[in-house]
Amino acid sequence: MPNTYTQIHIQFVFAVKFRKALIEDSYKQELYQYITGIVQSYGHKMLAINGVADHIHIFIGMRPTQSISDLMQDIKGNSSKWVNDKKFLKVKFEWQGGYGAFSYSKSHVQNVINYVKNQEKHYSKQTFRDEYVEFLKKFDIEYDERYIFQDPV
């Protein structure tokens, strides 16, 4: 669209179904590359992607040509199918329903990139659930405890 100028930075957080530790080091980088390809195919810019075995953080510069929900549906649906088609695991891979989407101003971009890149360090100090609830509180998002990402089974 001519004469349309935007600056939209969003961090997405989503978990493996039942928060099972299924994102293995053996294929993690390939998964991140695949998800980056999905993001870029829609004209968005991948700023950072990382996670740990049970969840992932994606930070993008988003174009207003697609809704957040459509992008997340494509990322989660296509990447889970890709993991299963590649047969990386002996069990079926699925993402848990829902996600977090948190927006940032330009002045926070580098800090968020650094945060995403250092995921392993964060989880030595804090659980994923605690981190996620902290995000919800920091961004003043009302939530129901029953619908926070399910704990591992």
- Higher-pLDDT residue of 34 and 120 is 34
Assess contact for 153 and 18: CB atoms under 8 A.
yes
Residue 136 within a domain: yes
* Count of domains forming the chain: 1
Question: What average pLDDT is seen over the chain?
Answer: 90
**Structural domain contains residue 4:** no
Confirm whether 3 is domain-assigned: no
pLDDT in tens, 39-88: 999 999 999 999 999 999 999 999 999 999 999 999 999 999 999 999 99
55 in a structural domain: yes
Q: What is the CATH number of the domain that holds 28?
A: 3.30.70.1290
Instruction: Tell me if 152 is assigned to some domain.
Output: no
Average pLDDT over residues 108-118: 95
Q: What pLDDT score was predicted for residue 25?
A: 95
DSSP one-letter code for 151? P
Tokens of 125: 């100090």
> 14 - beta bridge partners?
56
- Show the domain range for 142: 9-147
